[in-house]
Amino acid sequence: MSNLTFAVVLWQYIRPYRWYVLFILLGLTVEFCYEAGLRYSLKFLVDDVILKNKLDIFVLLFALFGLGGLVYSFFSVTCDYYWAKYGSRIFSDLCHDLFRHLQLLPLEYHERQSTGDLMSRFSSDAATVDNALVIVLPAAFLSIGELMVSSALLFQLNRLLFTGVLLGIVFCLFSPRFFAKQTNSTNYELCRYNGQMGIFLQEHLSAFKMIRAYGLESHVSGQYREQLNQFVLVASRANFFSYISQRMPNLAFLLLNILVLFAAGLLVMQGQMSVGALVTYQIIFVSLSAAINHMTWIIPNLSSAKAAMQRLQEVLEVPLPSGEQHYDNELFSFTGAVEYRHVGFSYNNGQSILNDLSFQIDPKSFTVFVGPSGAGKTTLINLLLRFYEPTTGLILINNMESSLVNPRLLRHCIGIVAQEVNLFNLSIAQNIRMGQLDADQEAIEKAAKLAEIHDFIISLPEQYETLCGESGGLLSGGQRQRIALARALVREPLMLLLDEATSALDPLTEQDILKTILKLRSQCTIVAITHKLNLALEANMTFVIDKGSIVEQGTHAQLLNNNGLYMRFWNHSKKIDETHVTCTS
């Protein structure tokens, strides 16, 4: 990312607060002008007031200094307040844009990305940019102002000495550019590696139980040590180039300070410069040196912020799916009728998942898809929800191409319960309400009763206000799945999608849920993906999928008569049940 691009991107976030920022810059201008004027007045104070013993002018000067100090303090505190406030708002705007953009990106993008790396862009990269906005940029403005004003005053005091100072300033400001390329690349590599560290921690901290169960504590600790050793190498290289970028100007300015002081002393001894001018020149030169030091600190920090912004822009510049502009979505009314016509689907790597699928789902019917793992059953649901688009063929919703239907309106008509349940660290009521944000308590409890979870909830001390914990960790797998079912039912969907929704339930609860599903048949279309064939016993139509193709279809009785894959599944499930009965007896 070039410096110009970095500035343009930052300006997009600063622009809404530009008048506040303008006031802040005005206050900073008052700040460095007052400090520079105070230093420059030392020449007059020493030569024309103190050495000539003019007490009245001495008192008047310090009264003016005090009055100026009050104005200085007012602007300083006000600037700090507004910069802290609006700097935080700019940071929140940046994080909000990043989060919202991630929410709108297609499922395919999220499956390619690591959660840990995305989290590091919020926690590390965005924080680095925030540091640049709140600390580095004001410091840069102050340093540049101090540099310009101090240079002008030094030129006014002694033009000959200023010639040497000017050469030193040019060298100090441009010396970091000798290492700019290495500094930028190493800082970006450090940001990227921080993302990889985030991935490792996210994966291994969330897999704590598995690690403990398999006795892998020492193994994963050793892996983390290896990661940290590699981090040390990357961070050392990045920090070295940052430090050397700061160190060179400081060393150069230190030598220049000695030379300037030597030359100024000679001029005083030769009568070409007063003692007051020497004192003033040295104090202003020291402030100029401090401004240069700040600039050498600012440049590496801006380089880090630029690398962090580049990582943020890598996400923000991912194109969003095209909007639905071909259909008047307000006229869309979903009845639950779905048809797949010669649908095929392949991932970008060319791996074929579905092959020439054709079938219909009638409104208010109960349809079941069974088949071995990896047959493509879940992909069917992802296509229906428009998480993906078919590679070949058409999906018709109410006899209309799915590509012409607003995905948001379509999903609003559908409730889904997946095998992998996602609950938030909120109360049970809030988690159920995620299915319908305007649902009242009565609707929440009705959905919970349908999902056979109400009795459990009211047995808890805080009932519906009980926290679920991170990812629902305070609940059992079956409880999480029933809350997810309640979340789907609270929106009173026209279609209910069940993706292994009863996999974590005990047999008795599973039978109760099945009774609930059967009651819903008259209210909505139900599509279930399962390995358990007890659902197929009650289905209007069952499709058997193998290797991305439909190999059998029909009712339970018809499929048994086919003596095909479904029959083998059925016989296998009966053997498992018989074994279970034998073991329990």
Cα–Cα separations (whole angstroms), residue 79 to 74, 85, 222, 287, 312:
8, 10, 49, 21, 28
H or E stretch at 402: none
Cα–Cα separations (whole angstroms), residue 287 to 60, 80, 146, 253, 299:
25, 21, 8, 12, 18
- Structure tokens, 145: 């102002």
pLDDT in tens, 236-273: 877 777 777 666 766 776 777 777 777 777 777 877 77
312, 441: one domain: no
Look at residue 203 in the predicted model and tell me its pLDDT.
65
156, 21: one domain: yes
- Of 263, 293, 316, the residue that ends a domain is 316
Nearest to 570 by CA among 541, 533, 535: 533
- Structure tokens, 491: 């929106």
Residue 175 lies in a domain: yes
428, 301: one domain: no
Residue 178 lies in a domain: yes
- 585 — pLDDT class (breaks 50, 70, 90): very low
307, 426: one domain: no
Cβ atoms of residues 418 and 484 within 8 Å: yes
Residue 445: give the domain boundaries: 419-492
pLDDT in tens, 460-517: 888 888 888 877 778 877 788 888 888 888 888 888 888 877 766 667 767 777 777 7
Look at residue 583 in the predicted model and tell me its pLDDT.
46
- Of 454, 472, 492, the residue that ends a domain is 492
* Percentages (nearest 5) of helix, strand, coil residues in the chain: 70, 10, 20
Residue 158 lies in a domain: yes
- 581 — pLDDT class (breaks 50, 70, 90): very low
pLDDT in tens, 285-321: 777 777 777 777 777 777 778 888 888 888 888 887 7
Question: What's the order of all strands across the beta sheet hosting 352-361?
Answer: 352-361, 338-346, 392-397, 400-401
3-state secondary structure of 490: coil
Residue 404 lies in a domain: no
305, 435: one domain: no
With a CB cutoff of 8 Å and minimum separation 6, the contacts of 216 are 210
Residue 366 lies in a domain: no
| Mean pLDDT along residues 373-380 | 80
How far is the C-alpha of 146 from the C-alpha of 40, rounded, in Å?
Answer: 13
Comparing 289 with 561, the larger pLDDT belongs to 561
- Of 316, 342, 367, the residue that ends a domain is 316
Residue 457 lies in a domain: yes
Lowest mean pLDDT among 202-206, 227-231, 399-403, 426-430: 202-206
How far is the C-alpha of 483 from the C-alpha of 449, rounded, in Å?
Answer: 10
Long-range contacts of 533-538 (CB under 8 A, 24+ apart): 533/370, 533/566, 533/569, 533/570, 533/573, 534/510, 535/368, 535/502, 536/368, 536/370, 536/566, 538/366, 538/514
With a CB cutoff of 8 Å and minimum separation 6, the contacts of 443 are 436, 490
Tell how strand 525-529 and strand 366-370 pair up: parallel
3-state secondary structure of 54: coil
* CATH number of the domain that residue 459 is part of: 3.40.50.300
Q: DSSP characters for 420-446?
A: S----SSBHHHHHHTTSTT--HHHHHH
* CATH number of the domain that residue 186 is part of: 1.20.1560.10
Structural domains counted in the chain: 2
293, 438: one domain: no
83, 224: one domain: yes
Cβ atoms of residues 444 and 464 within 8 Å: yes
Residue 196 lies in a domain: yes
297, 161: one domain: yes
pLDDT in tens, 63-108: 887 888 888 788 778 877 777 777 778 777 888 888 888 877 877 7
Residue 572 lies in a domain: no
424, 279: one domain: no
How far is the C-alpha of 317 from the C-alpha of 43, rounded, in Å?
Answer: 56
- Structure tokens, 540: 């209007």
Summary mean pLDDT of the chain: 78
pTM of the model: 0.66
3-state secondary structure of 468: coil
* CA angle at 477 for the pair 486 and 104, rounded to the nearest 5°: 60
286, 424: one domain: no
